[in-house]
Amino acid sequence: MSPYDEKKRNLIEKTVAFHTLGCKVNAYESDSMAESLKKAGMTVVPFTDKADVYVINTCSVTNIADRKSRQMISRARKMNPEALVVAAGCYTQLMADRGELDKVDADLILGSSDKHRIAELIGSWYEDRSRPDVRRIAEEKEYCPLVLSRPSEHTRVYLKVQDGCDQFCSYCIIPYGRGRTRSRSKEAVLEEAAILAENGVREFVLTGIHLSSYGLDREDGGTSYNEYIRNHEVQEPLIGLIEDLHALPGVERLRLGSLEPRLMTEAFVSHLSKLPKLCPQFHLSLQSGCDETLKRMNRHYTTADFLESARMIRKFFALPALTTDVIAGFPGETEEEFEQTKAFLKTAGFYELHVFPYSRRKGTAADLMKDQVPPEIKKIRTDELLKLSDEFREAFESRLDGKTVEVLTERQEEIGGSLVYTGYTKEYVRTAVYGDVSENEIVNGVFTKCSEVNRVDVV
């Protein structure tokens, strides 16, 4: 028996509970870590249960995320003082790189490059209380080989294909928590997707920290996204991956995670439009509708560039759902700049906005900028944008009224006294499905806009 197998014996019959904060990449990684612990003999239980091991997959995208990460670590400690508390994720990686791990109240801390070793490392802790050093993420050059065969939700899966980011937007701490861009090999992605499809997954959402740069670090020794996108009409590694996934048996829906607007050239969108399994929902990261603010953010496009990308999508897709991120109250944002953002958002015609008040992050360029916007002003602007998002959602869903849509059913819920299946259209609009349907089924029906949950009657 190998030393690793000996360590795994320490895990048999122990229980483990996960709590995941932050992005869809974190959700994928938690599912993968949970799967590896199950294979080692552990039983995964709800986080509210008393467990032998608690794993907190942390986030550090905002100060609030930092605080929630600390709170969940503390909560796990109180739920079972005898338990092993494991902390992983961006918050712990950043604390390690700053030399402040003593402030993290966890027994075992996993760096961003060691999550795939969680079973081995927990086994080692139980053997001799050993704790591995957390390596500096900036020095990592290889993609962390996490794998997944059975996600927590078996109808849809977030398929991680890329990690890290080289863009260094002035407000963002994530490149310091995730490192430089690193891509998974296409062969590994396709192998995992095939297994997931065999296990019943029907919809795949490609995700990464900077998905738009997928594969470029593997091209002839590596090339930067900004340079590549200036000189190519099509991001070849990414479109090649999408097309190969589309061709896999059992893959019935493909959805793309957050995309950089410069990616959406006429040639690239034209390729996408030829893939019938691709869902016409595109999340293009904007952050501000004012060019001066975009410059201060170190974004590499203008509002005119963004509108052109949106125009290209609408040229090739009949009724696409465009969603985006917007930051309210970035340093130096005047009332005039905020009004420009609101006007731009109305012009672009979004389905939904993901709105965030600017969060000051130590170690970023924006933290040192003058004219920090007061919290009360940020709140007012955030509320205004959220109200605008509600208006956009109502308008878009009204345009679907009476149209035949495709829905993937996910779970049963009680709505209006009736037990029905709910799911999402290809545009990612949540609906209640009425008709003779079952879970994890793709059906067509007529969409009816409703004040609470939209309705689809199966045809």
Q: What is the mean pLDDT of residues 233-245?
A: 97
Residue 1: exposed, middle, or buried by beta-carbon count in 10 A (0-12, 13-18, 19+)? exposed
Residues 95 and 176 in one domain: no
Q: What confidence score (pLDDT) does residue 6 get?
A: 58
Residues 262 and 316 in one domain: yes
Residues 416 and 385 in one domain: no
Residues 451 and 372 in one domain: no
Task: Give the residue from 382, 399, 416 where a domain finishes.
Answer: 399
Residue 76 lies in a domain: yes
Residue 151 lies in a domain: no
**Which region among 111-120, 132-141, 292-301, 439-448 has the lowest average model confidence (pLDDT)?**
132-141
Q: What confidence score (pLDDT) does residue 8 get?
A: 61
* Total Cβ atoms within 10 A of residue 319: 14
Question: Which helix (H) or strand (E) element contains residue 281?
Answer: strand 281-283
| Dihedral sign for Cα atoms in the order 351, 357, 363, 368 | positive
Strands 203-208, 156-163: parallel, antiparallel or unpaired by DSSP? parallel
* CA 305 – CA 284 distance, rounded (Å): 12
Domain count for the chain, please give it.
3
Q: How far lies 445's CA from each of 164, 404, 451, 456, in Å?
A: 40, 5, 18, 5
Q: What confidence score (pLDDT) does residue 222 get?
A: 84
* CA 444 – CA 426 distance, rounded (Å): 11
Closest CA to 87 of 65, 112, 51: 112
**% of residues, the chain, pLDDT over 90:** 86
**Which region among 272-276, 341-345, 379-383, 415-419 has the lowest average model confidence (pLDDT)?**
415-419
Q: Tokens 């009476």 belong to which residue? A: 402
Q: What is the mean pLDDT of residues 135-147?
A: 87
Residues 232 and 364 in one domain: yes
**% of residues, the chain, pLDDT over 70:** 98
Question: What CATH number is attached to the domain comprising 77?
Answer: 3.40.50.12160
Residue 145 lies in a domain: no
Q: What is the mean pLDDT of the chain?
A: 94
Closest CA to 139 of 158, 121, 112, 174: 112
| Whether residue 3 has pLDDT greater than 60 | no
Residues 126 and 177 in one domain: no
Write the DSSP symbol of residue 284: B
Q: What is the mean pLDDT of residues 47-74?
A: 95
Q: What confidence score (pLDDT) does residue 102 get?
A: 86
The tally of CA atoms less than 13 A away on the side-chain side of residue 338 is 21
Task: Give the residue from 93, 114, 139 where a domain finishes.
Answer: 139
Chain centroid to CA 361: how far?
Answer: 20
Phi/psi of residue 443, nearest 5 degrees: -130, 160
Residues 178 and 243 in one domain: yes
Closest CA to 87 of 103, 73, 101: 73
186's tokens: 């296409």
Residue 409 lies in a domain: yes
Residue 344 lies in a domain: yes
Answer for the pair 80, 51: CB distance below 8 angstroms, yes or no. yes
Q: What confidence score (pLDDT) does residue 404 get?
A: 98
Residues 182 and 297 in one domain: yes
Question: What CATH number is attached to the domain comprising 305?
Answer: 3.80.30.20
pTM assigned to the model:
0.93
- Name the residue with higher pLDDT: 199 or 132: 199
Helical segments of 98-224, H only? 118-128, 174-178, 186-198
Q: What is the mean pLDDT of residues 320-339?
A: 98
Domain with 110 in it: 3-139
Strands 404-415, 418-425: parallel, antiparallel or unpaired by DSSP? antiparallel
Q: What is the mean pLDDT of residues 154-158?
A: 89
* CA 355 – CA 388 distance, rounded (Å): 10
417's tokens: 């006294």
Q: How far lies 56's CA from each of 105, 268, 403, in Å?
A: 11, 38, 43
Convert the pLDDT of each residue in 290-312 to its tens digit. 999 999 999 999 999 999 999 99
| CA angle (209 as vertex; 203, 215 as ends), nearest 5 | 80
Residues 111 and 177 in one domain: no
* CA 182 – CA 161 distance, rounded (Å): 9
Residues 355 and 442 in one domain: no
Residue 26 lies in a domain: yes
Which amino acid, residue 71?
Q
Answer for the pair 296, 331: CB distance below 8 angstroms, yes or no. yes
| Whether residue 23 has pLDDT greater than 60 | yes
Strands 182-183, 253-256: parallel, antiparallel or unpaired by DSSP? unpaired
Per-residue DSSP letters for 69-128? HHHHHHHHHHH-TTSEEEEEEHHHHHHHHTT-GGGS--SEE--TT-GGGHHHHHHHHHHH
| Whether residue 25 has pLDDT greater than 80 | yes
The tally of CA atoms less than 13 A away on the side-chain side of residue 216 is 23
Residue 59 lies in a domain: yes
Answer for the pair 185, 199: CB distance below 8 angstroms, yes or no. no
Q: What confidence score (pLDDT) does residue 67 get?
A: 93
pLDDT-derived band at 5, boundaries 50, 70, 90? low
| Whether residue 4 has pLDDT greater than 60 | no
Bridge partners for 409 per DSSP: 423
Task: Give the residue from 91, 113, 139 where a domain finishes.
Answer: 139
Residue 394 lies in a domain: yes
pLDDT-derived band at 443, boundaries 50, 70, 90? very high
Q: Which residues contact residue 321 at a Cβ distance below 8 angstroms, ignoring those fewer than 6 apart?
A: 280, 281, 282, 351, 352, 396, 427, 428, 429
pLDDT-derived band at 1, boundaries 50, 70, 90? very low
Residues 408 and 393 in one domain: no
Residues 429 and 318 in one domain: no
| Whether residue 59 has pLDDT greater than 90 | yes
Convert the pLDDT of each residue in 77-123 to its tens digit. 999 999 999 999 999 999 988 889 888 999 999 988 899 999 999 99
